[in-house]
Amino acid sequence: MPFIPHSANDIKEMLATIDVTSIEQLFEEIPAHLRVKNMPAIPESLTEMELGRLMRSRAEQDSGLLCFIGAGAYEHHIPAAVWHIAGRGEFMTAYTPYQAEASQGTLQLLYEYQTMMASLMALDISNASMYDGATALAEAILMAVRLNRKNKSNRILLPSCVHPFYREVVKTIVTQQGIELVDVPFDEKTGRLSIETLEKMTHEEIAALVIPQPNFLGMLEEVDTLTDWVHAKKALAIAVVNPMAMALLKAPGQWGHAGADIACGEGQPLGVPLSSGGPYYGFLCCKKELARQLPGRVVGRTVDLEGKQGFVLTMQAREQHIRRAKATSNICTNQGLLVAASTIYMSLMGPHGLRQIALISHQNAELLQKKLTAIKGVELVFEGPYFHEFVIRVPRSVEFVLHQLAKSKMQGGFDLSKAYPHLGECLLVCVTETKTAEDIDKFVTALASVLSCEDHSRDKTEKTEHVRTYL
């Protein structure tokens, strides 16, 4: 019996103690006609060895490709120590730290995380995590609307240069409460927001503007101007940022005269593997005046009976288990273990290491961009500074290009043609510190060869219906 320790004799003794004759009898309160008859879809059990064989063959199917895709999930080197320690049973198999005295490891780690993340964002406080970057943004928007009770506006300016899937998640979550999301187009030339466009959106009052840095297209926004603009409208600035970039770029709390009010985003770049898109974690930081509207777990430092330092979950009066229908959020389980990994990662990197990784990723991106745009027919779509991702337009269907590249074990980037059809056949390409000069050259050669291939008729035949889904 996998994972069940009972011997026949144990069972006998236990049934006798309960005073029943069979395990079956314990289910007597369930109406008999409701009992399950058959579950044919469930296969026979496997031993660990058999499972290993199966899973290795499945993992093999998805491996061995050089990755130039970013689009919100970034490949970075993860030091061995990160998951060796985060994977210790004491961290991995604990529940939420409800019994503080028996959870000081997790709680102190979370306090250290809150310190690191708040400081990385140059804001006062951080919570202990949300599910992912997209839900963190949704919660930041709900927070902004609650904070804006005074002018009662529930209009949010959500630019289209924010990750398209973040915008979809935000829509799913916040429109349940009747919040209005206003799309703000980006400038076609710069791939960035412009104040002129924003001004046209403010015939009615707004609660907040979402400011991405870098934005989904990789471009760096004029964050100071945008933050000051939204503050002049008496609304909040919500930053959605790549935390890795914040070791190099001006952090949300430093934007404009007063700093962004809330910062959120995807914590994955800091020590979390790509892993098909999760588990990752969302971070959420804010100014201390906004603390009472913060959703999610928060850890505080306190003392024990003897005056010794210790850590507990705090500000629980905001949370679902106390406040129920009036809670700031329904979140309960969050993404604690990923935060543990990130905290270990940030400790290993320190301020210097994190900045070096951000810098070299940026430089590698510039190098690749120069080489790619030297290929005939490939053009850089936006002018201006970017972080470690940029947009190129290719003279053939992106879909065809990506499938051809995959044949040479290359993942060429994210296909923008579905989320931004008006841009044409565009590809979002990412490079990090994980790519060498040879990797970069390999990619350039592969793309050049795909594009020089004469047989244009194959553009069509490559498109089988079911691999064309929008992902």
Partner 1 sequence: MSELIFKLSHHGRCATAQIPRHVAQKTTIPSHLLRNDEPLLPEVSELQVVRHFTKLSRANFSIDTQFYPLGSCTMKYNPRGIHQLAMLEGFLNHHPFSLPINSQGYLSCAYELQEILKAVTGMRGVSLTPMAGAQGEFAGVAMIRAYHHARSDLTRTEILVPDAAHGTNPATAAQCGFEVREIPTDKEGNVDLDSLRKVVGPKTAGIMLTNPSTLGVFEQNIEEIASIVHEAGGLLYYDGANLNAILGKVRPGDMGFDVMHINLHKTFATPHGGGGPGGGPVAVSERLVPFLPMPIVAKKEETYYWLTGKECPQTIGRLSAFMGNAGIILRAYMYARMLGKEGMERVAEFATLNANYLLAKLKAAGFTAAYANRRASHEFIITLKIEAKELQITALDVAKRLLDYDFHAPTMYFPLLVPECLLIEPTETESKEVLDAFADALICIVQEAKIKPDLVRTAPHTLSVRRLDEVKAARELDLVYKEK
The residue with tokens 């990662």 is 345
| Segment interacting with partner 1, rule: CB under 8 A, options 226-234, 332-340, 372-380, 419-427 | 332-340
Nearer to partner 1, 11 or 258 (CB): 11
Among partner 1, ligand PLP, none, what binds residue 238 when CB lies within 5 to 8 Å by partner kind?
none
Binding mask 342-381 for partner 1 (x = CB under 8 A): -xx-xxxxxxxxxxxx-xx-xx--x---------------
Q: Site for ligand PLP (CB under 6 A): which residue of 46, 92, 332, 467?
A: 332
187 binds partner 1 (CB under 8 A): no
Report the site for partner 1 in 122-181 (rule: CB under 8 A). 122, 124-126, 128-129, 131-135, 163, 165-166, 168-169, 171-173, 176-178
Contact (CB, 8 A) for 238 and 144: yes
Report the site for partner 1 in 391-450 (rule: CB under 8 A). 402-403, 406, 411, 414, 433
DSSP label at residue 45: P
Q: Site for partner 1 (CB under 8 A): which residue of 151, 330, 449, 452?
A: 330
Q: Phi/psi zone of residue 183: left (φ > 0), alpha (ψ -120 to 50 degrees), beta?
A: beta
Among partner 1, ligand PLP, none, what binds residue 147 when CB lies within 5 to 8 Å by partner kind?
none
Q: Which of 430, 426, 428, 427 lies closest to 364 in space, CA to CA?
A: 430
Compute how many other C-beta atoms are within 10 angstroms of the C-beta atom of residue 416. 23
- Min dist CB 180 to partner 1, Å, is 14
Residues 6+ apart with CB under 8 A from 396: 425, 450, 451, 456, 459
322 binds ligand PLP (CB under 6 A): no
Q: Site for partner 1 (CB under 8 A): which residue of 193, 211, 237, 249?
A: 249
Nearer to partner 1, 55 or 374 (CB): 55
118 binds partner 1 (CB under 8 A): yes
Nearer to ligand PLP, 98 or 437 (CB): 98
**Count of residues near ligand PLP by CB under 6 A:** 2
- Min dist CB 391 to partner 1, Å, is 15
Q: Site for partner 1 (CB under 8 A): which residue of 141, 198, 211, 223?
A: 223
Among partner 1, ligand PLP, none, what binds residue 461 when CB lies within 5 to 8 Å by partner kind?
none
Q: Give 436's strand partners.
A: none
Q: How far is CA 427 from the centre of its chain?
A: 21
Q: How far apart are CA 343 and CA 451, in angstroms?
A: 43
219 binds partner 1 (CB under 8 A): no
262 binds partner 1 (CB under 8 A): no
Among partner 1, ligand PLP, none, what binds residue 100 when CB lies within 5 to 8 Å by partner kind?
partner 1
Q: How far apart are CA 152 and CA 154, in angstroms?
A: 6
Residues 6+ apart with CB under 8 A from 333: 96
406 binds ligand PLP (CB under 6 A): no
Contact (CB, 8 A) for 169 and 135: yes
User: Would you mind telling me the total number of residues written for the chain in this entry?
Assistant: 471
Q: Site for ligand PLP (CB under 6 A): which residue of 47, 61, 99, 333?
A: 333
**Count of residues near partner 1 by CB under 8 A:** 207
Q: How far apart are CA 226 and CA 198, in angstroms?
A: 9
User: Residue 54 corresponds to which tokens in the numbers above?
Assistant: 């199966």
- Min dist CB 331 to ligand PLP, Å, is 7
Q: How far apart are CA 142 and CA 158, in angstroms?
A: 13
Among ligand PLP, partner 1, none, what binds residue 196 when CB lies within 5 to 8 Å by partner kind?
none
Q: Which of 322, 369, 427 lies closest to 69 in space, CA to CA?
A: 427
Among partner 1, ligand PLP, none, what binds residue 44 when CB lies within 5 to 8 Å by partner kind?
partner 1
- Min dist CB 150 to partner 1, Å, is 21
Compute how many other C-beta atoms are within 10 angstroms of the C-beta atom of residue 408. 16
Compute how many other C-beta atoms are within 10 angstroms of the C-beta atom of residue 150. 7
The residue with tokens 């979140």 is 331
The Cα angle at residue 240 between residues 237 and 244, in degrees rounded to 5: 130
Nearer to ligand PLP, 45 or 333 (CB): 333
Q: How far apart are CA 296 and CA 334, in angstroms?
A: 8
469 binds ligand PLP (CB under 6 A): no
Among partner 1, ligand PLP, none, what binds residue 181 when CB lies within 5 to 8 Å by partner kind?
none
User: What DSSP line would sit under 343-409, residue for residue?
Assistant: HHHHHHHHHHHHHHHHHHHHHHHHHHHHHHHTSTT-EE---S-BSSEEEEE-SS-HHHHHHHHHHTT
Among partner 1, ligand PLP, none, what binds residue 55 when CB lies within 5 to 8 Å by partner kind?
partner 1
- Min dist CB 336 to ligand PLP, Å, is 11
- Min dist CB 110 to ligand PLP, Å, is 16
User: Residue 404 corresponds to which tokens in the numbers above?
Assistant: 């051809």
- Min dist CB 136 to ligand PLP, Å, is 16
Q: Write out the residues near ligand PLP by the rule CB under 6 A.
A: 332-333
